[in-house]
C-alpha cells in the first residue's frame, strides 16, 4: 500500500493527501515532522536526505517534493482523473505547478509563518506587507487566467489545481487586505465543493 510520511497540518503533505483522496487511493500515513519530529532520524534521512515532509513510498519507489509526488500520482493513477487528457493541457498543468513553487511559495510561506506561527509582538510588519503585495500580484496574474477557464489546465479539474488550490485556502483565510480577484474566488469556491478539498485543506491553520 502507498505509504506517506508527514503531518497533516503541513501544506505540502495536504497536497498529497488531497491527490490521493481525489483518486480514491488507500494509503498508510505516518505522522512526522513539526511537533512529531523524526525528520533528522537516520531511517528517515535514508529515504529523504532533504529532511522535510512529505515523503512517499509506492511500489518500491521512494519520492519526496510534494509537487513531484502529485505528478507521480497523477501519471500513475490519475489518467483519467488528475492528468489532463491532452498533451498541451498536460504541459500547462506542469507550468502552473512549477509557478506555485517558484513564484507564489515564498510570499505565501512568509504570510503563513508570520500570521499563524508567530506571536503578534514578534511579527515583521514590513515583511508581511511585502509578502502581501507580492502574493496579491501573483493571485492577480492568476485571476486573468481563470477568467478564461474553469480550472488551471482547462475545463476540467487536474493536478495543476492541487498546489495552488492548497495555497488559495490560506490566502482567503488570512486576516489581510486582498486585491479583488473574482475569478480566483470563483475557482476557489468550486474547489470548496469538492469533498477531498473539504477534508484535507479546509481545516483550521496551525
Ligand atoms: N519543496 C518541498 C518543501 C517541503 C517542506 O518544506 N515541508 C515542510 C512542511 S510544509 C517541512 O518539512 N518542515 C519541517 C517539519 O515539518 O519538520 C515540498 O514541496 O515537498
Q: Would 109 be classed as within a structural domain?
A: yes
Q: Is the peptide bond before 80 cis (omega within 30 degrees of 0)?
A: yes
- Number of structural domains found in the chain: 2
Last residue of one domain, picked from the residues 29, 47, 77? 77
What's the 162 CA to ligand 1 centre distance in angstroms?
Answer: 16
Q: Which atom of ligand 1 is nearest to the CA of 7?
A: 16
pTM (whole model) above 0.95 = yes
What are 57's strand-pairing partners? 3, 62
Q: Identify the segments of the chain with pLDDT beneath 70.
A: none
Q: Would 39 be classed as within a structural domain?
A: yes
Distance (Å, whole) CA 196 – CA 27: 14
Return the pLDDT at 73.
98
Q: Would 68 be classed as within a structural domain?
A: yes
Last residue of one domain, picked from the residues 33, 54, 77? 77
Distance (Å, whole) CA 118 – CA 177: 19
Q: Would 111 be classed as within a structural domain?
A: yes
- 77 closest CA partner among 149, 187, 13, 1: 1
Return the pLDDT at 79.
84
Last residue of one domain, picked from the residues 58, 77, 96? 77
Phi, psi values for residue 139, rounded to 5°: -65, -30
Return the pLDDT at 112.
98
Three cell numbers written together for 200 = 484535507
Question: Coil, strand, or helix at residue 86?
Answer: coil
Strand 61-64: give its sheet, edge to edge.
Answer: 27-30, 2-5, 55-58, 61-64
Return the pLDDT at 80.
86
Asked if 26 and 124 sit in the same domain, the reply is no
Domain range for 68 is 2-77
Residues framing ligand 1 (Cβ under 6 A): 10-12, 33-34, 39, 52-54, 65-67
Amino acid at each position: 500500500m502507498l505509504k506517506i510520511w508527514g503531518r497533516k497540518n503541513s501544506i505540502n503533505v495536504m497536497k498529497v493527501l488531497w491527490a490521493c483522496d481525489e483518486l480514491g487511493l488507500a494509503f498508510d500515513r505516518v505522522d512526522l515532522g513539526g511537533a512529531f519530529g523524526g525528520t533528522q532520524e537516520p531511517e528517515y534521512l535514508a529515504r529523504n536526505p532533504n529532511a522535510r515532509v512529505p515523503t512517499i513510498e509506492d511500489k518500491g519507489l521512494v519520492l519526496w517534493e510534494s509537487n513531484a509526488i502529485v505528478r507521480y500520482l497523477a501519471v500513475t493513477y490519475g489518467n483519467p482523473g488528475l492528468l489532463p487528457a491532452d498533451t498541451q493541457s498536460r504541459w500547462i498543468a506542469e507550468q502552473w505547478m512549477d509557478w506555485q513553487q517558484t513564484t507564489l511559495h515564498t510570499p505565501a510561506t512568509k504570510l503563513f509563518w508570520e500570521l499563524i506561527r508567530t506571536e503578534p509582538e514578534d511579527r515583521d510588519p514590513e515583511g508581511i506587507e511585502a509578502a502581501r503585495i507580492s502574493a496579491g500580484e501573483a493571485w492577480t496574474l492568476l485571476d486573468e487566467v481563470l477568467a478564461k477557464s474553469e480550472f488551471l489546465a482547462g475545463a476540467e479539474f487536474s493536478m495543476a489545481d492541487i498546489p495552488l488550490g492548497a495555497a488559495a485556502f490560506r490566502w482567503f483565510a488570512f486576516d489581510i487586505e486582498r486585491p479583488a480577484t473574482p475569478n480566483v474566488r470563483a475557482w476557489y469556491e468550486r474547489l470548496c465543493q469538492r469533498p477531498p478539498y473539504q477534508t484535507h485543506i479546509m481545516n483550521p491553520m496551525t
